[in-house]
Structures are given as structure tokens and as C-alpha cells.
Amino acid sequence: MSAFKKFIQYYKPYRAIFFFDIFCALLLSGIDISLPQIPENA
């Protein structure tokens, strides 16, 4: 068994939390990128 597969097995019960965390990180990154595009005097 490869080390990667062994590593993944430990995190199978936490798959939902992992995907939620990735989603939140992408959302926050999108907000951080788009915030400077908003004009100050809007």
C-alpha cells in the first residue's frame, strides 16, 4: 500500500469537513481578490 493511500484512510471520516474547509478557503480567496475592484466612492 502506498503511503498516500494510507494517509488518506485516516481522513476518510472527516471528508465533509475537509471539503467544507476547501470551499470556505476558495470563497475567502475570491472575496480577497474582488475587494480591491470595488470603487471607494461607490
Q: How far is CA 18 from CA 4, 15, 22, 26, 31, in A?
A: 16, 5, 6, 12, 20
19-41 mean pLDDT: 92
The whole-chain average pLDDT of the chain stands at 89
> Is residue 22 predicted with pLDDT exceeding 80?
yes
pLDDT of the residue at 11: 83
Rounded CA gap, 14 and 36, in Å? 35
> Is residue 37 predicted with pLDDT exceeding 70?
yes
